[in-house]
């Protein structure tokens, strides 16, 4: 079993290194190497949500859980990010700004249990849980994720608009309502 307090302490120490994202990535990689151990420490997901583990102006750690077949709009973080999957799968479409269209897709990355992805501060991505079961991941950000106003893009028009922690939480609430209405099948 993983000791979450020790995991956070290890991330904080690693974050003080000269190359903080790489150092914290090593900690996260060790933590999700055995996905079942992280699942036991965090708990089996049963709703979409963002569950804070550590919050500071320079480092945010939370467990994010996606309902089956949940989609998140294209969005940015404006800070480096690490994602480590401990149950399920997360598919990412990578986007870049484009003249006239707002965004253009240029790549994709599927994250399976035990995988860790490092995203630079310039990343724009959308996220999908393609499975018919819940997905859970540890997300680590090199800044105050909840206090930073970012952007999200309309999925049809790719029009940019402001996004923050409240906007993200509202998306998760809508997904939980969708999941309950579908009968949790």
Terminus-to-terminus CA distance in the chain, angstroms?
30
Helix (H), strand (E) counts: the chain:
4, 11
Average pLDDT over residues 87-114: 94
pLDDT at 183: 73
Tell me the residue length of the chain: 185
Write the DSSP symbol of residue 131. S
Q: Identify whether the C-beta of residue 87 lies closer than 8 Å to the C-beta of residue 136.
A: yes
Tens-place pLDDT, residues 41-79 = 999 999 999 999 999 999 999 999 999 999 999 999 999
Look at residue 93 and tell me whether its pLDDT is greater than 90: yes
Beta carbons of 59 and 117 less than 8 angstroms apart: no
pLDDT confidence tier of residue 184, bands split at 50, 70 and 90: low
> Which string of DSSP letters, residue by residue, matches 132-160?
SS-EEEEEEESS-TTT--EEEE-TTT--E
Domains of the chain from N-terminus onward: 4-181 (2.60.120.10)
133-153 pLDDT, tens digit per residue, is 999 999 999 999 999 999 999
| pLDDT exceeds cutoff 90 at 34 | yes
Cβ atoms 76, 141 nearer than 8 A: no
Give pTM, 2 decimals.
0.94
């Amino acid at each position: 079993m993983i000791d979450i307090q020790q995991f956070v302490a290890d991330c904080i120490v690693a974050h003080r290194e000269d190359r903080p994202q790489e150092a914290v990535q090593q900690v996260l990689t060790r933590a999700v190497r055995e996905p079942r151990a992280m699942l036991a420490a965090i708990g089996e997901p049963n709703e979409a949500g963002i569950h804070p583990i550590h919050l500071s102006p320079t480092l945010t750690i939370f467990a994010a859980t996606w309902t089956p077949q949940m989609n998140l709009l294209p969005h940015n973080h404006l800070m480096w990010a690490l994602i480590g999957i401990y149950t399920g799968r997360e598919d990412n479409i990578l986007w870049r700004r484009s003249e006239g269209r707002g965004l253009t897709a240029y790549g994709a990355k599927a994250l399976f249990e035990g995988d860790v992805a490092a995203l630079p501060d310039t990343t724009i991505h959308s996220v999908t849980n393609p499975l018919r079961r819940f997905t859970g991941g540890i997300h680590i950000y090199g800044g105050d994720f909840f206090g930073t106003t970012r952007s999200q893009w309309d999925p049809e028009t790719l029009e940019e608009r402001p996004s923050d922690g409240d906007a993200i939480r509202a998306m998760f609430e809508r997904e939980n309502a969708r999941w309950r209405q579908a009968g949790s099948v």
